[in-house]
Amino acid sequence: MHNFSYQNGELYAEDVPLATIAQQVGTPSYVYSQATLERHFKVFDQAFEDLDHLVCFAVKANSSQAVIATLAHLGAGADIVSGGELVRGMAAGVPADRIVYSGVGKSEAEMQAALEAGILMFNLESAQELVALNEVAGRMGLKAPVSLRVNPDVDAQTHPKITTGLSKNKFGLDVDLAFKQYQEAANLPNLQLKGVSCHIGSQLTKVDPFADALERLGVLIGRLRGAGIELELLDLGGGLGITYDQEEPPSPAQYAQALKEQAARLGLKLVLEPGRVIVGNAGILLCRVLFTKDTPTKHFVIVDAGMNDLVRPAMYDSYQAIWPVKQDGGGSKVISDVVGPICETGDFLARDRELPDLVRGELIAVMSAGAYGFSMASTYNSRPRVAEVMVSGGRWSVVRRRETVEELMRGERLPEWME
């Protein structure tokens, strides 16, 4: 579900014509629908309403202040993976006691900042990390609330680059090792054992891997209880997929249904870390056709956005739907490659796609670009990062202005001997 639709032959974000945004803000620009964001969050949150739970939005999916603040107003917590995301989450109004901190490589400075803030829980992923956090907390005279991230060794059946719960992946601790580490952690004076966590991958389109992971966590929780270790929180991570093309992922209700009974039996407060399912279809990348060209084998549509703005097609071969802003009148279709200006063959947004005959100057929307779009953007080829716009009903606002080239060079200097 989303709020990008055609009205009188023109593509709108809610009640705002995208052509208006293109004209006033320029292209490329990311455009987010606040109504879609709010709806996605509410539907997800309500799916778990009969259980004690907390939805922590995975900030890495979209770390715009406007997006995080929209969700924070609805009661969202945040799942963070860096000191930067801690600052962003709190600046956007997420209370520290609704923040969980995931990730395999937290620095001591990052640990300290999160302890100072008073976050809900650190999800720890290695024996050395436990020792390090215990030391940092000790120096600060605090007890750090922790969970261990378990790698349940289940196949998420998604793209290999976004699979995280297989034993060959770098993430988490296998169940037996986790059991041992809980016992060792119980003896570390500056840690408070608070929960157990896992995250098996992203863009999952089946519920079974989630249910399998939960079952394995359940066994571990039982073993821990037997050993006298009682926990409060059960963090199942994120990962629920969305429709980019023809995928039919479970709805949040179906996802919740598959987990609730088992989760309720375990009697812990549930923490969920959705990213993509909240924001993925709430954003588009608005861009303009610069040129078209035909080669002996291809028809290329060259647009003003590239892999630096949206890396998902290049990185994961992802499918992103392409909609013309001026509705296709049903004319002839052309098999096209939509490519960006970057000097890489991998710089494409769509390949061998049947599209209307797009012409120079025409606007297009790259759909489903709200998650891992701007947040993964780079400035490769010295391309400043694009503007971000939030729409709500008939209103719209630039929530991040286009970066300038001067900003790209800020902080650079020549070595003294060349000055």
Query: Which residues are part of the catalytic machinery?
Result: 343
27 makes contact with ligand LLP (CB under 6 A): no
Contacts to ligand LLP from residues 232-291, by CB under 6 A: 237-240, 273-277
- Could you tell me if 193 and 155 are in contact, meaning their C-beta atoms sit under 8 angstroms apart? no
φ, ψ (nearest 5 deg) of residue 127: -60, -40
Q: How far apart are CA 240 and CA 278, in angstroms?
A: 9
Distances (CA, A) of 158 to 164, 213, 273, 318, 368: 10, 15, 18, 12, 17
372 makes contact with ligand LLP (CB under 6 A): yes
Burial of 129 (0-12, 13-18, 19+ CB in 10 A): buried
Burial of 330 (0-12, 13-18, 19+ CB in 10 A): exposed
The minimum distance between CB 239 and ligand LLP, in angstroms, equals 4
The minimum distance between CB 385 and ligand LLP, in angstroms, equals 17
Which one of 25, 61, 119, 233 is in contact with ligand LLP (CB under 6 A)? 61
| Number of residues lying near ligand LLP (CB under 6 A) | 23
Which one of 102, 281, 308, 336 is in contact with ligand LLP (CB under 6 A)? 102
89 makes contact with ligand LLP (CB under 6 A): no
Task: State the binding string over 147-166 for ligand LLP (x if CB under 6 A, else -).
Answer: ---------------x----
For ligand LLP, give the closer residue by CB, 25 or 194: 194
Contacts to ligand LLP from residues 345-364, by CB under 6 A: none
For ligand LLP, give the closer residue by CB, 21 or 80: 80
- Nearest 5°: the CA angle 175, 178, 183 is 135
- Could you tell me if 87 and 67 are in contact, meaning their C-beta atoms sit under 8 angstroms apart? no
For ligand LLP, give the closer residue by CB, 122 or 396: 122
Which one of 6, 300, 316, 380 is in contact with ligand LLP (CB under 6 A)? 316
Beta strands in 102-259 (DSSP E): 121-124, 144-151, 173-174, 191-197, 233-235
Q: How far apart are CA 257 and CA 24, in angstroms?
A: 45
Q: How far apart are CA 307 and CA 338, in angstroms?
A: 11
The minimum distance between CB 61 and ligand LLP, in angstroms, equals 5
The minimum distance between CB 34 and ligand LLP, in angstroms, equals 19
Task: State the binding string over 375-414 for ligand LLP (x if CB under 6 A, else -).
Answer: -x--------------------------------------
The minimum distance between CB 201 and ligand LLP, in angstroms, equals 7
Give the DSSP letter string of 69-126.
Answer: HHHHHTT-EEEE-SHHHHHHHHHTT--GGGEEE--S---HHHHHHHHHHT-SEEEE-S
Query: Which residues sit at the interface with ligand LLP, rule CB under 6 A?
Result: 58, 60-61, 79, 102, 162, 199, 202-203, 237-240, 273-277, 312, 316, 371-372, 376
